[in-house]
């Protein structure tokens, strides 16, 4: 009774050893290559069918030999170039930036030659300029106040020295030359600034601002006639040609203006015999019977 199980177990153990299948034969090893595998076209239909039949019948099959002598170098070069291009794109194209930085700087063009503006063109552009009353007042605060101060100082010192060249225009030019931010006319055809007041005879043709100290007044072939004290007076101003007989148009710097009586006090060159080379003359604009009076607001240079 005890020996039967031992015989059965030995028989079953021997049967199990007989049923174990033998191990499969080892697969042939392939030599690995450092180069990336080439892209192969998909196998044709008959070859795939033959492969499936071979696998189903448990037959051994081998991969066809891959030629690496000619394609290896080309694939390696194309692979390395692609890697370099990707690296340059990720790094923001450093080689391109370096080539741009090392390129020669662009030549600087020479400065354009400044062509002088003809006086007639400059005068037309100044006449076309439009300024509001508040802008004119601001300009007077920056320029006109200084002009009046300089003209007053020159008037005080004119007893001992000649101001300018002794002419009306020479005195005004001498005053403007002492004001750094004042605009100076380049020729006699150029106005002294922005035209703020025009009166022809007894008619006021233009008034865009009040006449203020520091403005430049021009009187051309004017005749003043009116009452002065208990009598009457007649005055001819600005007659003739500048530099010739009569002295030409009168130019001066306004020192005071009385709006109610329309009286203007002007510093101007003294063309008469006297101790001072600069005189202060008062004109009553309401007494203008003929001729032309213009007042300019000197602009910033």
Calpha distance 119→122 (Å, rounded): 5
Max Cα-Cα span within the chain: 177
- Contact yes or no for 213/297 (Cβ under 8 A): no
pLDDT of amino acid 7: 47
- Contact yes or no for 84/47 (Cβ under 8 A): no
Calpha distance 267→122 (Å, rounded): 27
This prediction's pTM: 0.59
Backbone angles phi, psi at 78, to 5 degrees: -65, -40
Calpha distance 216→253 (Å, rounded): 5
Angle (deg, nearest 10), helices 145-157 and 168-177? 120
Calpha distance 264→260 (Å, rounded): 11
| Number of alpha carbons in the 13 Å side-chain half-sphere of residue 235 | 18
pLDDT of amino acid 19: 56
Calpha distance 137→297 (Å, rounded): 9
The one-digit pLDDT tens for each residue of the chain (301 residues) are 445 444 445 555 455 555 556 666 666 555 554 555 555 555 555 444 444 444 444 445 555 555 554 444 454 454 455 454 555 554 555 455 454 445 556 666 565 554 444 555 555 566 678 899 999 999 999 999 999 999 999 999 998 889 999 899 999 999 999 999 999 887 777 889 999 999 999 999 999 999 999 999 999 999 999 998 889 999 999 987 776 566 789 999 999 999 988 999 999 999 887 778 999 999 999 999 999 999 999 999 8
pLDDT of amino acid 219: 97
- Contact yes or no for 267/278 (Cβ under 8 A): yes
Tokens of 210: 């009040």
Angle (deg, nearest 10), helices 94-102 and 71-90? 70
Q: How many residues does the chain have?
A: 301
pLDDT of amino acid 116: 47
pLDDT of amino acid 97: 45
Q: Assign 267 to helix, strand or coil.
A: strand
- Contact yes or no for 177/146 (Cβ under 8 A): no
- Contact yes or no for 256/210 (Cβ under 8 A): no
pLDDT of amino acid 5: 47
> Contacts for 225-234 with beta carbons within 8 Å, 24 or more apart?
225/287, 225/289, 226/284, 226/286, 226/287
- Contact yes or no for 149/273 (Cβ under 8 A): no
Calpha distance 286→57 (Å, rounded): 132
C-alpha closest to that of 248 among 269, 264, 263: 269
């Amino acid at each position: 009774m005890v020996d039967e199980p031992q015989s059965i177990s030995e028989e079953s153990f021997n049967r199990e050893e007989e049923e174990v299948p033998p191990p499969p034969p080892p697969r042939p090893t392939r030599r690995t290559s450092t180069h990336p595998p080439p892209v192969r076209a998909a196998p044709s239909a008959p070859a795939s069918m033959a492969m499936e039949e071979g696998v189903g019948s448990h037959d051994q099959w081998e991969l066809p030999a891959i030629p690496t002598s000619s394609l290896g170098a080309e694939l390696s070069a194309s692979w390395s170039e692609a890697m370099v291009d990707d690296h340059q794109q990720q790094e923001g194209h450093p080689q391109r930036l370096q080539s741009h930085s090392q390129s020669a700087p662009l030549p600087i063009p020479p400065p354009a030659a400044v062509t002088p503006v003809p006086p007639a063109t400059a005068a037309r552009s100044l006449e076309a300029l439009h300024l509001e009353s508040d802008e004119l007042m601001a300009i007077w605060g920056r320029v006109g106040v200084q002009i009046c101060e300089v003209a007053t100082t020159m008037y005080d010192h004119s007893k001992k020295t000649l101001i300018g060249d002794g002419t009306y225009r020479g005195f005004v030019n001498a005053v403007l030359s002492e004001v750094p931010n004042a605009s100076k006319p380049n020729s006699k055809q150029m106005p002294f600034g922005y035209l703020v007041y025009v009166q022809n005879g007894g008619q006021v043709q233009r008034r865009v601002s009040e006449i203020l100290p520091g403005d430049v007044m021009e009187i051309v072939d004017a005749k003043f006639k009116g009452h002065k004290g208990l009598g009457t007076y007649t005055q001819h101003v600005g007659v003739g040609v500048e530099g010739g007989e009569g002295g030409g148009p009168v130019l001066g710097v306004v020192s005071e203006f009385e709006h109610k009586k329309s009286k203007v006090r002007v510093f101007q060159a003294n063309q008469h015999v006297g101790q001072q080379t600069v005189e202060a003359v008062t004109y009553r604009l309401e007494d203008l019977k003929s001729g032309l009076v213009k007042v300019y607001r000197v602009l910033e240079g």
